[in-house]
């Protein structure tokens, strides 16, 4: 069996669920300006590397150690970002409206992850940056674990032909640790790394090995950025 797989969206097939509605577009910036003011005051938020953000669509891939990583990521770029959420969350009209303002869009996860990955590709096809946490869910510890870094962002990047931008976040694990419900005043630093380009397609195909290699590169870059962010946030001493 061939180890090549075709990565590429079908043209003209962008579901409405992946689009950001008019109300969400109108409310998006005021909402995130408020979030930014809170993060700046509460966490003395500092962002390094904004010059590394590319034009056009890309995948923003941050380390994930706290619930507040999501709002932190939402304010570090100045761009309108999109986030995936479980479709069941939209069963509540107020919550669904809030998540839409937030830049979220619903994904049905009852089937294979392919549904979520396809929805991610659809968002990128609209020219919008997309947030994908490569660790999938919150993890613990001062270092990344390669086994916990998933292929999702690399798969979508290869399929859509867009770069991945890694982001290290320091301080968030202490500002809102696992199990805590109320955030603490704590310095948070986000460090945006240089874009990692997707593998080139050959005859419309990208080898699965290339996706794994891309994940390996993301793991290495993200691990270094996480250490840098932790040092800048005062979570660990600077290396000698």
Q: Which pLDDT score is estimated for 42?
A: 95
What was the pLDDT predicted at 16? 53
Nearest to 23 by CA among 130, 96, 129, 76: 96
Query: Could you tell me which residue, 116 or 36, shows the higher pLDDT?
Result: 36
Q: Answer for the pair 205, 158: CB distance below 8 angstroms, yes or no.
A: no
The mean pLDDT of the chain is: 84
**pLDDT score of 20:** 66
Res. 215 pLDDT band, cuts 50 70 90: very high
- Spatial CA neighbour of 223 closest among 65, 39, 58: 65
Average pLDDT over every residue of 75-91: 84
Which band of pLDDT confidence, cut at 50, 70 and 90, is reported for residue 17? low
Separation CA 214–CA 209 (nearest Å): 9
The larger pLDDT score, comparing residue 222 to residue 208, is at 222
**What tokens appear for 116 in the block?**
């979520």
**pLDDT for res 13:** 47
Tokens read off for 59: 């995948």
Residue 93: per-residue pLDDT: 84
Return the structure tokens found at 73: 């990521």
Nearest partner of 57 among 118, 117, 107, 131, judged by Cα: 131
Taking the C-alpha atoms of residue 1 and residue 121, their distance in angstroms, rounded to an integer, is 26
8 Å CB contact between 107 and 86: yes
Residue with more model confidence, 165 or 150: 165
Determine, yes or no, domain membership for 178: yes
In angstroms, what CA-CA distances link 191 with 9, 60, 156, 167?
31, 12, 23, 6
Q: How many domains does the chain have?
A: 1
Find the CATH number of the domain harbouring 34: 3.40.1130.10
Cβ(153)–Cβ(59) below 8 Å: yes
Q: pLDDT tens digits, residue range 46-71?
A: 999 999 999 999 999 999 999 999 99
* Mean pLDDT value of segment 25-43: 89
Let me know: does 196 contact 217? Beta carbons within 8 Å: yes
The domain in which residue 227 lies consists of 4-233
Whether 238 is covered by a domain: the verdict is no
The pTM (predicted TM-score) of the whole model is: 0.85
* 134-144 per-position pLDDT tens digit: 998 889 889 99
């Amino acid at each position: 069996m061939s180890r090549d797989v075709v990565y590429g969206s079908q043209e003209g097939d962008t579901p409405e669920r992946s689009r950001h509605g008019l109300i969400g577009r109108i409310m998006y910036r005021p909402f995130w300006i408020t979030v930014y003011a809170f993060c700046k005051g509460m966490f003395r938020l500092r962002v390094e590397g904004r010059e590394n953000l590319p034009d056009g669509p890309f995948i923003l891939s941050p380390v994930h150690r706290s619930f507040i990583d999501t709002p932190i990521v939402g304010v570090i770029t100045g761009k309108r970002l999109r986030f995936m959420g479980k479709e069941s969350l939209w069963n509540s009209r107020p919550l669904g409206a809030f998540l839409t303002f937030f830049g979220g869009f619903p994904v049905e996860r009852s089937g294979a992850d392919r549904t979520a990955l396809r929805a991610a590709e659809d968002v990128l096809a609209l020219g919008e940056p997309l947030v994908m946490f490569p660790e999938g869910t919150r993890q613990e510890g001062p270092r990344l674990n390669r086994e916990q870094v998933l292929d999702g962002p690399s798969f979508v990047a290869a399929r859509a032909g867009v770069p991945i931008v890694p982001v290290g976040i320091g301080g968030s694990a202490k500002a809102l640790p696992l199990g805590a419900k109320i955030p603490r005043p704590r310095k948070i630093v986000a460090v945006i790394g240089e874009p990692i380009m997707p593998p080139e397609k050959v005859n419309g195909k990208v080898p699965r090995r290339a996706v794994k290699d891309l994940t390996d590169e993301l793991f290495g870059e993200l691990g270094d950025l996480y250490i840098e962010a932790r040092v800048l946030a005062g979570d660990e001493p600077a290396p000698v």
